Amino acid sequence: MYDVIVIGSGIGGLTAAGLLAGVAGKRVLVLEKHSEPGGQTHTFRRGGASWDVGVHYVGAMSPGEDPRLLSDFLSAGELGWNRMPEEFDRYVYPDFELRPIADETEYFSRLVELFPAEKQAIERWFTDVKKARRWLQLGFVSQMLPARAAAKMRLAQRLTGRLGTMTTRGWLDQHVRDVRLKALLASQWGDYGVPPAKSAFAMHALIFDHYLKGAWFPAGGSSRIARTFEAGIEAAGGAVRVEQEVIDIRVENGRVTGVHVRDLRSNTHDHEQTYLAPVVISAVGARNTFNKLMPSTHDTKHLTAPLRDQVDQLGVGDSAVVAYIRFREDPRVIGVDGSSIRVFGDHHHDDTPTHVQNLLDGRATEGFISFPSVKAGQPVHTAEIVTSAPYAAFQQWRKRGVRNRGADYDALKQRIGDGLVALADRVLPGFRDLVEHVEVSTPLTAEHYTSHPWGAFFGLPATPDRLRMKPLGPRTPIPGLYLAGQDAMSLGVVGAMMGGVAAASQVLGSRGYPRIMKAVRAGRAPLRTDGPLPQGRFRARVVLSRELTPSVQELTVEIDGEVGTWVPGQFARLLVAPHEWRDYSIVGLEEGRLRLLISTATGGLGSRFAASARPGTPLRVELPLGRFQAFPSNRRRLFVATGTGLAPFLPMFADLMQEDDLLVFGCRTAAEDLTTLLTDPLPSTIRCISREAVPGARHGRVTTELSKLDLDWRRTEVYLSGSDAMIVDATRLLHQKGVTFLRTEPY
């Protein structure tokens, strides 16, 4: 039994959980469907590189500002923030460009210098931005208050809302003549995902004002947000559990009693259980909460019907396409300084059909270019190029599984990626020459990994209708049920964080908000780390460390405690540095001894930990995780691996090897050939060595060998594990050959 259950580990859910744990000592269980905590603040890693899926920069994080105080309290001071350059953005249009600066007076002067005839309109812009922002924040404050006081504040807000609830385009058309200035002032609409003709002016004003004092980025990357916040939750006896899919919210006698969960890390993948708590906070969006998770009893449906109608009336916002890029070298050689670049093909932000068609044709005309490795101080350099895209453009592939959407989908993603790289190269000459690898996500990716319906990761769209309606807020008509996150408050990182504050305030009662802010301003003592660990996490120690190759370390780890059953193909998560976890496939797990193969080639935190680990080195482990599994089959099974991508296949072969299984393994040199260095059982194997000719091996890459194999591809099941470049190239090739069963595990 927990005091509170939180559904979803985005920043809204983690903020609510962390405040209830840190301020009131409540035992909170946070449940996350994905294998990584953090929601839109999580990162994903490939071969030592990392990308931030939703955080590109954050405002209001100067020391002493409320969001920074909250961050410091929730992380017990462990989450650092890097100040971005004063010119943190660059807006590039075909005939002009501007660099906003983190100084309101200087920003105003730059605008007037560009558009001297529009000085009066620019003055009016800054004045009305302040008015609309203050008006909107009245509504936010009301969500922190008891119901009676909140109603009075909302009434006052409704009487003064004409400015805030006009569209951004409406304000610009009314006050600005120059089409270029209209475009420029609307440039930040991508930060909340609604173009100016549809967005509420107050929401655009909030975003514009939010960054007037500059922008910040989490030191070490956005994954640090979840990892530092969860420590405070655990210190109060709570837990953040991943791979836990909430099926429904339990309601008995008109009141919340807990949640029903499918444990996705279970070896059967259909294990279900119920967690009990008198309070449930849903941080997975109003649409998921009321349309998917609530029970369908008559009373509950009747009580939540107005909220469902409101959600339906507001509709769904657009999603995005993202190109995730790894560079061969530091992009600062071409002038990158950590600031972002927004590129626009014309002055008309609302011309969506033209933009979308150009994107799909590989001729991207607009995009937001970000450099997470430079901002976070990461050694492997990366970039992200984001551009808005409707779900409908990708809907025809919705029913096909991840990595199995077919050759036409692969070709579309490659075309989109090439177009986005070309776009970046036009504004940053030399960008294309630095690119080593590109991986593209679509709205289908966002829907799969974050569970946002139709990939709409901004939640309910920020339209005038949303602001005219009674705000959803954290309160619901079901006693014990609250909302947190973007839909409960506002969009973006800080908006979702304040949604978590609002939910925690309501849970704690009429004095909840002042109680929270008093504790936050007082600060927090360092957290204890010697308490009991949550379910699924263990203390452990290294008992064997062996260098197999110059770039592969074999570790054997002894675990304290009973792990239970696992499935070959699953992985373990190791704490390799404070708040830094890395994932490694389980090669073996018997009698509490965990065997791993770890690449040390990247030189990152995980590599350095593995290279320096000695018998007796203590660590923490979370396991088993993941759903990469081989199945018995009456069809041919082909396994393709590069480097330590062989690791998940080794227990599969030991557990259930079939007579006609075939392994294609690739590495660069004979010294890196793990198939000759390990004694584990292997099926018939084709060895591919790319950088030297070796007797008994093929000279070349695994994809070259795959192109030559003569198999009945439609009756072949293929498993891929290895470098991201190999996975992408092999997936494209195999789809062209007609493979329909394809499972992958990039590392």
Judge whether 717 and 703 are in contact, CB under 8 Å. no
pLDDT digits (tens, 9 = 90+) for 690-712: 999 999 999 999 999 999 999 99
Q: Give me the mean pLDDT over the 238-250 stretch.
A: 96
- Percent of the chain at pLDDT > 70 equals 97
What's the pLDDT band for 227 if we cut at 50, 70, 90? very high
What's the pLDDT band for 271 if we cut at 50, 70, 90? confident
**Is 235 a residue whose pLDDT tops 90?**
yes
Q: What is the rounded average pLDDT for all residues in the chain?
A: 94
Q: Sign of dihedral through CA atoms 458, 459, 461, 464?
A: negative
Here the tokens at position 100 are 């906003």
The distance of Cα 24 from the centroid of its chain, to the nearest Å, equals 29
What residues contact 56, with CB distance under 8 A and at least 6 apart? 217, 340, 368, 370, 372, 384, 386
Q: Residue 156: its pLDDT value, please?
A: 63
**Which residue type sits at 295?**
P
* Nearest Cα to Cα of residue 290 among 89, 460, 545: 460
Q: Residue 402: its pLDDT value, please?
A: 84
Measured CA to CA, the distance from residue 444 to residue 446 in angstroms comes to: 5
Judge whether 281 and 503 are in contact, CB under 8 Å. yes
**Is 122 a residue whose pLDDT tops 90?**
yes
What's the pLDDT band for 157 if we cut at 50, 70, 90? low
pLDDT digits (tens, 9 = 90+) for 343-379: 999 999 987 788 999 999 999 999 999 999 999 988 8
**Is 145 a residue whose pLDDT tops 80?**
no
Q: Give me the mean pLDDT over the 561-587 stretch.
A: 95
Measured CA to CA, the distance from residue 173 to residue 175 in angstroms comes to: 6
Measured CA to CA, the distance from residue 229 to residue 240 in angstroms comes to: 10
Region of 454 (left: φ > 0; alpha: ψ -120 to 50; beta: rest) is: left
**Which residue type sits at 368?**
F
**Which residue type sits at 433?**
D
pLDDT digits (tens, 9 = 90+) for 410-439: 999 999 999 999 999 999 999 999 999 999
pLDDT digits (tens, 9 = 90+) for 317-352: 889 999 999 999 999 999 999 999 999 999 999 877
Average the pLDDT over each of 19-28, 31-40, 90-99, 264-273 and give the range with the smallest value.
264-273
Judge whether 452 and 189 are in contact, CB under 8 Å. no
What's the pLDDT band for 140 if we cut at 50, 70, 90? confident
**Is 174 a residue whose pLDDT tops 90?**
yes
Q: Residue 688: its pLDDT value, please?
A: 97
Judge whether 286 and 460 are in contact, CB under 8 Å. yes
**Is 269 a residue whose pLDDT tops 60?**
no
Measured CA to CA, the distance from residue 517 to residue 508 in angstroms comes to: 12
Measured CA to CA, the distance from residue 125 to residue 131 in angstroms comes to: 10
What's the pLDDT band for 154 if we cut at 50, 70, 90? low
Average the pLDDT over each of 57-61, 109-113, 154-158, 182-186 and give the range with the smallest value.
154-158
Q: Give me the mean pLDDT over the 456-471 stretch.
A: 91
Q: Cα–Cα distances in Å, from 742 out to 583, 721, 735? A: 22, 11, 9
